[in-house]
Structure 1
Amino acid sequence: MSAEQVSDTKDDQNTGLSARAQRNQRSIREDGTFNIENKGMPLFRPDDIYLGLLTMPWWKFSLIVISFYVILNSLFAAIYYAIGIDHLTNIEGTTQWEKLLEAFFFSAQSLTTVGYGRVAPVGITTSSVAAIESLLGLLGFALATGLLFGRFSKATAKIVHSTNMLISPFKEGTGLMFRIANMRETQLVEVEVIVTLSKITVEKGREVRRFYQLNLERNKITMFPMAWTVVHPIDETSLLYGLTHEEIKYDDMEFLIYFKGYDETFSQNVHHRISYRADDIVWGARFIVNYELQSNGPTIHYLNKVSDYELTDLPVISIENEKDRKQLVQ
């Protein structure tokens, strides 16, 4: 690509990311979240509690539910104990600790509305506390059930991607490529990928970050049963045409990948984001086939080989292309 063509390339303004130049920092983290931390927000945000409970890891959600259950039962057990254990029938504990434990288990039976019947409240005060606890138990378990349903029914993409991007032989030239695959048993259709190049340029004597959407050999596929190698042809129209690894690294290039597909199981769109930097690019390599055909059986698809590649020779740049490259660098 000539210098005039580079200057005429349209800047992609749809990323939502800042144009202020900052080197050696990813825009998208490895987990697909944006490398942004919001400050200046209120310490207590009730509207975000539900969102947090839906999106937090399972171990953290389980720990919160169990902790809330134990703390609430302990609180009501302490209330029953403070009112007086003699206001609960058929308490068999002899020591104060055993009586407190029986109050705790009675609280658990009231909170879950199980009510085995051996221990029962006596008096208006104790019965009122048990009634309030039963109401809180019904509301609490309804909320927990709704959260569980929301977590299970929330469609999320589980996309495995190659560890590296490769500069590989492609048609009569070279191409920048990476590979993705669906790790879930569910079927994804109408899958689309957008690759945006983030690079630092110098404008009016200062560095700014610009974003350019790269052309792809194919940016959309109807079905996604196996790994898909996404290819950006490095031809005369490419911003990468004739660049070396050092030049890509100097411009602090980052490749932002946005994935979108329709999940047939959940009947919802799913999304995924990844990014690669210059150090993630391997020059002169090609992906190894990660599937095996069988004559009398299904095709074996190896998801653990999505990142596997082998080294290969790249086409030699012609003299005319080398001149264009020097003009571009200058």
Structure 2
Amino acid sequence: MALEDSSFPSRPESLSLPVVEKGKGPVEEASEVTASTGVFDVSEDLGHVVTTDTAQPGVNRSWKSKLAERQANAASEEYVKKLPRVVEKERGRFGWAKRRKTQRYVEKNGRCNVSHGNMRETYRYLTDIFTTLVDLNWRCSLFVFVMAYAITWLFFGAIWYLIAYLRGDLDHLEDETWTPCVNNVNGFISAFLFSIETETTIGYGHRVITDQCPVGTMLLLLQAILGSMVNAFMVGCMFVKISQPNKRAETLVFSKNAVISLRDDRLCLMFRVGDLRSSHIVGANMRAKLIKSKQTQEGEFIPLDQTDISVGFETGDDRLFLVSPLVISHEIDCRSPFWDMSQGQLEKDDFEMVVILEGMVEATGMTCQARSSYLADEVQWGHRFSPMMSLAEGFFDIDYGAFHQTFEVDTPSCSAHELSLAAARLEAHLYWSISSKLDEEKWEGSSLTNQSGKQLDNGKGGVVGPVSFTVGEITGIEEQSGPGELNGSVTTDQSESEA
């Protein structure tokens, strides 16, 4: 049974916040500074200073003393703000405990909280430039998209201007007998506009290349080819980025908390997952990982070690038909990393459980992945998820307002290991109690007796006569024709003794 809060002594209202113990060093100096001016209390949550005037009422102080007091109070406030904050505390089911400030490995929205630094082989990003551009955020992607076109237009525009300048087309603008390389190119701006028309195949018809410029013809072919490559590359990057199924994961929701309670007399760790869209995830598959640092038997420390948490891989329960919200259950057995975790250890433990849902988007056919995580503080012991499905007229109605709601149920506070040992002891006790009861009933009908026949002394130290021992329910051994042993019973007759 779950431990009730009433089993612990209640704490008075005056102790609603933990008392801050005075430390050594700077804290004692700060208390000495403010001893003459007032009393300050360091708030654990905000770290501000509350001053209380210790002057006696009715006594008028000079403005110099008030000014000195204010300056001392301001100095103490600045000094206290620089002090390290007191560790926050909260009252749990087992008394006052330190509130853990755990850094998440995976955020609740699925973003991995990992930053890669001191990478010396950055050239590897250029070897896969397409994936690099797709992985950029939208701001950088748009900037690269615009700059790719602008640079190519400016580059080829400068070349067209250089050709016109070297051939002397700019010096014969008014000469009608002169055949330029490109008609109506009278400066850099016009050459830039001709470059845009060539690469984008707009073709306004005002500026056109002539047949008297073979260099211009070669440049026109080169720009047309490179322009097509730039268009295919940049448009392909933008299309892939737009069609990425990352936003599809926004409509795949996980419960805010995970729960631990009994299912079929077994402790199970459960969380809920649902899909908000009517288009389903095809071939949905669920996985879970435990992120926790550990130390090996050889003394090696492994930070953020990953341990697999079974959510039905052996039985196929990890393959989901995600039409309505489902409760994913992990049975805490001897292979589970939570096998020896009790309710008290849960409140003291520090771990993170990462859950991953993968599947194919029905509309686009692309693979989608949604992630979330649960810290030890977000696992509720002795709770169960509230039902959210009801039968309406002709369909099943799902109330997503109860998606994150849980309610408390009776759950043992011991670990699954201790619970299995208790169940084994209870089973063994029942087995032996039933066996002993049957033995009592059996022994009431036939008790152990030592039957001896007529003893005859033949004068030679021998015993003559039928002697028999009956054990258990064996009767009528004297009627046996031959000597010997039968089910632990020994029969002797006179002839044997004489022999």
Structure 1 position 41 matched with structure 2 position 131: no
Instruction: Supply the distance in 2 between the matched residues of 1:28 and 1:235 (Cα, whole angstroms).
Output: 26
Distance 1:262 1:220 in 2: 15
Where 2:123 maps in the other structure, the secondary structure is coil
Q: Is there any run of 5+ residues in structure 1 with no aligned partner, and where?
A: 1-22, 94-98, 326-330
Give how far 1:112 is off. 1.0
Q: Which residue identity does 2:280 align to in structure 1?
A: Q
Matches within 5 A, 1:237-276: 238-241=336-339, 243-244=341-342, 247-248=345-346, 251-267=349-365, 269-276=367-374
Alignment partner for residue 136 of structure 1, among 188, 210, 226? 226
Separation in 2, partners of 1:306, 1:52: 41
Gaps of 5+ in 2: 1-100, 174-179, 423-499
Give the deviation of 1:117 after TM superposition: 0.8
Is 1:76 matched up with 2:171?
Answer: no
Q: Say what the alpha-carbon RMSD is for the aligned residues.
A: 4.1
Higher relative contact order (CA 8 A, sep 6+): 1
Structure 1 match to 2:290: 197
Tell me which moved more, 153-162 or 67-76: 153-162
Which residue is equivalent to 2:405?
309
> Does 2:195 align with 1:107?
yes
- Identity between Structure 1 and Structure 2 (%): 21
Secondary structure of 1:276's match? strand
Offset, 1:114: 1.9
Deviation of 1:247 (Å): 2.9
TM-score of the aligned structures, taking structure 1 as reference length:
0.68
Q: Do the aligned partners of 1:176 and 1:234 also contact (CA within 8 Å) in 2? A: yes
What is the match of residue 117 of structure 1? 205
1:226-251 Cα distance to aligned partner (Å, 9 max, x none):
22221223467754356356634655
- Once residues 300 and 118 of structure 1 are traced to their aligned partners in structure 2, the CA distance between those partners, rounded to angstroms, is 65
Q: Any conservation in 1 of the 2:257–2:404 contact (CA below 8 Å)? A: no
Shift of residue 139, structure 1, vs aligned partner: 1.8
AA aligned to 2:158 is A
- Normalising by structure 2, we get a TM-score of 0.48
Q: Residues 353 and 374 of structure 2 are in contact (CA less than 8 Å); yes or no, is this contact kept in structure 1?
A: yes
Match of 1:188 among 265, 281, 293: 281
Structure 1: distance between partners of 2:281 and 2:243: 16
User: Compared with structure 1, are the counterparts of its residues 312 and 62 closer, same or farther at alpha carbon in structure 2 (3 Å cutoff)?
Assistant: same
Quote the Cα distance in structure 2 between the aligned partners of 1:292 and 1:106. Answer: 67
CA distance in 2, matches of 1:208, 1:272: 30
Counterpart of 1:309 in structure 2: which amino acid?
Q
Alpha carbons of structure 1 residues 258 and 31: separation in structure 2 relative to 1, 3 Å? closer
Once the two structures are TM-superposed, the CA of residue 106 in structure 1 deviates from its matched residue by 2.4
Q: What is the distance in 1 between the residues matched to 2:145 and 2:391?
A: 47
1:86-235 matches, within 5 Å, as 88-90=182-184, 100-121=188-209, 124=213, 125-151=215-241, 158=249, 159-168=252-261, 170-172=263-265, 174-182=267-275, 186-204=279-297, 206=299, 208-209=301-302, 211-216=306-311, 219-234=317-332
CA contact (8 A) 1:201 1:251 kept: no
In the alignment, which residue of structure 2 is the partner of 1:5?
none
Distance in 2 between the 1:114 and 1:287 partners? 62
Q: Deviations for 1:46-97, whole angstroms, at most 9, x for unmatched residues? A: 3221112233344433332122112222233333344446554346x9xxxx
Q: Does the 8 Å contact 1:190/1:223 carry over to 2? A: yes
Q: How many residues align?
A: 295
Higher radius of gyration, 1 or 2: 2
